[in-house]
Structure formats: C-alpha cells, structure tokens
Amino acid sequence: MNLIDTHIHVDGMSEDELREMVSNGITRAITCAYFPIEPNYTQTLIDLFTRLIDYDVPKTREWGLDLYAAIGIHPRSIPKAGFDQIIEVMKTLYKHEFVVAFGETGLQLGSNKEIDALKSQLELAKDCDFPIIVHTPSANKLKVTEKTLPIIDKIRINPELVVLDHVNDETMSKVDKSGYNVGLTVQSGKLLPETAAELIIQYADSNIIVLNSDNGFRKCNITSVAQTIESLKSHGVEKKLLERISHKNAEKIFKF
C-alpha cells in the first residue's frame, strides 16, 4: 500500500530511521519546520527553511523517501525579535517545488505571541491559497483546541487548506464537522494505531483524515502509520477508505 506520512521532522531523524520508514511502506512524507529552542534571531528560521529545502529534502530523497517540506513558525520556535521578516520570506519560498504547505504553526500554551504568529500564517495561507498545518499541543489539548478553532474560523480561510493536526479521541468530536482536515498522529504518548483506526471508522464519512507519526527529535515510531492501516484492514473496512486514509486524502490536500 502507498503510504504517506504527513508530518515528520526529518532534521531530528537518523538515516537508519528514515530508511526503515521506507521499508515499512512509507513512500512520501512531509517534514515540518521546527526549531527546538526559542531562536534569538529571525534569520535562524530562515536558514532552517533553506536547510530543509536545499539539504534535508534532497538527501532524504536519495534514501528512497519522496520527501516534501512545510515551512512555518512553530509556536515553540517564535523568535525573540518578531517574525514579520520570516513571513516575507515564506511568501517567496512557498513557490519552491519541494514546499507543499505552511507549518507547522498553532498554539502551544495559547499566549498572545503564539496567537499573533498563528494569525499571520493563516492570513498568509489564505492569501496564497496554500495548505497550512496547525498543530495542537499534548498538554491541555482540548482547551487549546477550543481556543484555536475560533481563531481559524475568524480568518475565513478556505477550510480545505487547513489541517488541524494531532487530533485525538479527546478532541475529535470538537473538530468533527468543522470542515478542516484532520491529522491523526499515531505515536506513543499520542494515539495508538487501534484508537486511530477506531476514530477513522467513526469519523471518516464526515471528515478528511490524514495520518502521520510526528517522528523526529525523540524516540521514533517507525511502523505506526502502517500499523494503523493494518488495524483498519483487520476491521474489514472497504478498499476505498483505505486508499483515502493511506494516500488519497493527503494527495488532495497537498497536491503532490
């Protein structure tokens, strides 16, 4: 089966882990921009985007994974000195053939600074008619998701451009019928393959759902996306649904 992992962090993964993803059936993936500490300079993130596009993506492609990039300001990576300059660079870089989305962005704690960065990136995605990956945090997920949704609603962006990511069994009913695409992150401490499969069976009729592992910068779960598909198969779901979840929904959103 043709599997797409819609959210990894390739700069936090080893060559062995990436090759293992390929041997576990992942054919395409999106690496999301993330800098693990609060940068002192706006240029730090701009260099990170260039690193992803000019170094990480071509390198990973040599290892057999058809990789693409998402460029954006993660709520943990908002520079001390403002971010307008980064938005300006994103306006140009998104046209690069390897870039398929803005992100990841979103709220971590829900501070005003995070809200400003999220809004600016949503406005940018709306103006560019380009997909955007919006993260929800592990801590206080429900509360922060409830804070995030009205912020996106207010921008009046085409909902088909938005992937609300790391949705779980606690937040799925809130996100259901919002019109935004749903990212399920199958990873220890987030969602188990079996739980993800149950959510898909329950909600895939009314939502466009994609799968990812969020691998990188910690212990990776290389097989989680494939395991979710296996779990769906063991429930006897129809082939069309398997195809949508494994790759067709992602192809539709990210146009690759």
Q: How far is the CB of 104 from Zn ion (least distance, A)?
A: 5
* Residue choice 4, 94, 214, 247 for contact with Zn ion (CB under 5 A): 214
Nearest of 175, 60, 78, 173 to residue 118 by alpha carbon: 78
| Of 220 and 232, CB closest to Zn ion | 220
Which residues in the 19-58 window bind Zn ion by CB under 5 A? none
Q: Which stretch binds Zn ion (CB under 5 A): 14-22, 43-51, 208-216, 223-231?
A: 208-216
Checking phi first, is residue 71 left (phi over 0); if not, alpha (psi -120 to 50) or beta? beta
Q: How far is the CB of 166 from Zn ion (least distance, A)?
A: 8
Q: Which stretch binds Zn ion (CB under 5 A): 122-130, 152-160, 211-219, 235-243?
A: 211-219
| Of 118 and 232, CB closest to Zn ion | 118
Residue of minimal CB distance from Zn ion? Answer: 214
DSSP 155-209: HT--GGGEEEEEE-TTTHHHHTTSSSEEEEEBSTTSB-HHHHHHHHHHHTTTS-E
Q: How far is the CB of 76 from Zn ion (least distance, A)?
A: 10
* In contact, 241 and 232? CB cutoff 8 Å: yes
Q: How far is the CB of 212 from Zn ion (least distance, A)?
A: 8
Residue 134 phi/psi, 5-degree rounding, is -110, 115
| Of 6 and 232, CB closest to Zn ion | 6
| Of 18 and 232, CB closest to Zn ion | 18
List CB contacts of 20: < 8 A, sequence separation 6 or more: 222
Is residue 169 packed enough to be buried (19+ CB in 10 Å), middle (13-18) or exposed (0-12)?
middle
Residues 30, 99: Cα–Cα separation, whole Å: 9
Kindly state the number of chain residues that form the binding site for Zn ion, as judged by CB under 5 A. Answer: 1
| Of 38 and 88, CB closest to Zn ion | 38
Q: How far is the CB of 9 from Zn ion (least distance, A)?
A: 6
Q: Which stretch binds Zn ion (CB under 5 A): 35-43, 80-88, 198-206, 209-217?
A: 209-217
List CB contacts of 16: < 8 A, sequence separation 6 or more: none
* In contact, 196 and 225? CB cutoff 8 Å: no
Q: Which stretch binds Zn ion (CB under 5 A): 77-85, 171-179, 212-220, 242-250?
A: 212-220
Number of H helices, E strands in the chain: 11, 8
| Of 11 and 214, CB closest to Zn ion | 214
| Of 211 and 232, CB closest to Zn ion | 211
Task: Please give the residue ranges that form the binding site for Zn ion (CB under 5 A).
Answer: 214
